[in-house]
Chains A and B, each alone.
Chain A
Amino acid sequence: MTGRTEPTLDMTSPGQWHRRHLLAIEPLSREEILTVLDVAAAMKEISQRDVKKVPALRGKTVVLLFFEPSTRTRTSFEIAAKRLSADTVSFSVSTSSVSKGETFLDTVLNIQAMAPDAIVVRHRSAGAPYFITNYIDACVINAGDGSHEHPTQALLDAMTVRERLGRLDGLKVAIVGDILHSRVARSNVFLWHKMGSEVWVCGPPTLLPPVFRQWPVRVTYRLEEALEGADVIMVLRLQLERHISLRFPSIREYFQRYGLTRERLKYAKEGVLIMHPGPMNRGIEIESEVADGPYSVILYQVANGIAVRMAVLYLLLGGATG
């Protein structure tokens, strides 16, 4: 059930979709991004029905192949596939034969032999999803490859901003934290640049080396400068499991310099959106009062993640080419 009382005649004609895989934001056009977001807006309503399921992908099999731990993204893809009536099979590294010594390629070929229609893959190596496309017939969706890209995360971030601010261009988007290891940052930088917004990246120099100056972004090491007049703040998780603590003196010092606090929010625009791709480290990169505060849209991001993944699965698998 929608909040609107009168239905609208939507005559905009979004572009068609012709890709077989979703591997990264970088190669997508502005129109392709808008197509995903338009379809995602329509998909969102399905999650609010009594019967949260449509028959569009009946008989399709989606394999979730996760070589890195993930709860949120895997669950989100699984729910998305099920709401479209696809069957899902989850395959995670802890329970798989990879831990018995099988190579990545052998794992992939075995899964190909089971004839899935789509494979959602997360792997610690950048490019692993591209590699797979050479060996299998199924559509491949990148659910995060190393420090490279995480396209559906950037798309759900864009969907959330579009819903809240009604636009994707002319915004100041500040991405704060561990830029070096962040696939979320990379996907978002490409997306916001394509949409015509200004992206600022900010973090300690050890997590934001000079190579990032080649990107279409503004770089700063001062949080206040990144937040100044920002419409959107994306706080990244400190990836402590990647031995990141060697890159600054202490977590306490990190919080003092780069933690998003209520005090620092005053630099941003009134009504700024606070986003976080999760899982959060409260008291490290973000203060609890900010994460739970009125500007936080973190839980809307999670809800929109399902809609965006439904849109991607439908666009890749929905037609005759799927």
Chain B
Amino acid sequence: MRIVMTPEDMSRTLSRMAHEIAEKFNREIAQAVMVGIRTRGLPLAQRLQALLRDVTGVTLPLGVLDITLYRDDLTQIGPAPLVRKTELPFRVTDRPVFLIDDVLFTGRTIRAALDELVDYGRPRTVRLFVLIDRDHRELPIQADVVGQFVATELDEIVHVLLRETDGRDGVVVTRRTEPLDLEALV
């Protein structure tokens, strides 16, 4: 097991991401909306929303996507995965959309998210912000702002832990067969 981020690392990284977003997409922020991808993209989007407010003074509207019904592997996996609500309490047409997820891996989740997003309208732009880029893309998809690049093996799992969902912050990498030891993070 490798510890990639401690709780302190994570809060520094998110803070840096907020500054980088504010700098790179300065012209878009006033019109932009934030959309987290379930599950852990939502708390990350909420945190970036607060950090961006501190940096820019703007509170961006926040929504959440559940991409389950757009997955390209539905007919290959076991029982139908359960679906939660997609909630976009705003129109996306002609607005910049800041899409947020925890880990960028094959790119297939983002492909599904883009397909779902365009069913709601035609965004002016879509920007992708991820906490971890673990490489091994299978589609031509890249993030615009990355918290940290982590070189991984294909048989490894990247665990992003968040207070809101897991009771603690941190990022660890394990082998597929290796148990996750949460105590090592403290």
Contacts and interface: CB of A to CB of B under 8 A. Distances in A.
B80 A7 contact: no
A211 interface: no
Given A319-B79, A320-B78, A54 B87 contact: no
Interface in B58-108: 62-64, 66, 68-70, 74-91
A180 to B, nearest CB: 37
A314 B89 CA distance: 25
B39 interface: yes
Given A6-B62, A54-B69, A315 B80 contact: yes
Contacts of B165: 9, 11
Contacts of B63: 7
Given A7-B36, A17-B79, A320-B78, A42 B70 contact: no
A11 B39 contact: yes
Contacts of A10: 38, 84-85
Q: Which of A6, A56, A318 has its CB near the most chain B CB atoms (within 10 A)?
A: A318
A321 B87 contact: no
Interface stretch (B113-121, B131-139, B175-183): B113-121
Nearest to B118: A51
A321 B39 CA distance: 25
A4 interface: yes
B39 A318 contact: no
A41 B16 CA distance: 37
A41 B115 CA distance: 21
Contact of B70 (A9, A49, A54): A54
Interface in A1-38: 1-11, 14, 16-18, 35, 38
B contact patch SS: loop
A266 to B, nearest CB: 38
Interface string A284-322: 000000000000000000000000000000111111111
A168 to B, nearest CB: 18
A1 B120 CA distance: 9
B5 interface: no
Interface in B25-51: 36, 38-39, 42-43
Interface residues of B, number: 37
Given A7-B36, A9-B43, A322-B75, A317 B80 contact: yes
A11 B83 CA distance: 12
A314 B80 contact: yes
B115 A321 contact: no
A4 B69 CA distance: 22
B86 to A, nearest CB: 6
B156 interface: no
Given A9-B164, A55-B115, A319-B77, A1 B86 contact: no
Nearest to A55: B70
Contacts of A314: 69, 80, 83
A270 interface: no
A317 B75 CA distance: 9
Contact of B78 (A9, A38, A315, A319): A319
Contacts of A54: 69-70, 116, 119
Contact of B87 (A16, A45, A53, A319): A45
B75 A38 contact: no
Contacts of A49: 119-120
Q: Which of A3, A38, A46, A56 has its CB near the most chain B CB atoms (within 10 A)?
A: A56
A79 to B, nearest CB: 16
Contacts of B69: 46, 54-56, 84, 314
Contacts of B70: 54-56
Contact of A17 (B62, B80, B119): B80
A42 B85 contact: yes
A43 interface: yes
Interface in A51-76: 51, 53-56
A241 interface: no
Contacts of B62: 6-7
20 contacts: A2-B87, A3-B89, A6-B62, A7-B62, A9-B39, A9-B165, A10-B85, A17-B80, A35-B82, A39-B83, A50-B121, A56-B68, A84-B69, A314-B69, A314-B83, A318-B80, A319-B81, A320-B76, A321-B79, A322-B80
Interface of A: 1-11, 14, 16-18, 35, 38-39, 41-43, 45-46, 49-51, 53-56, 84, 314-322
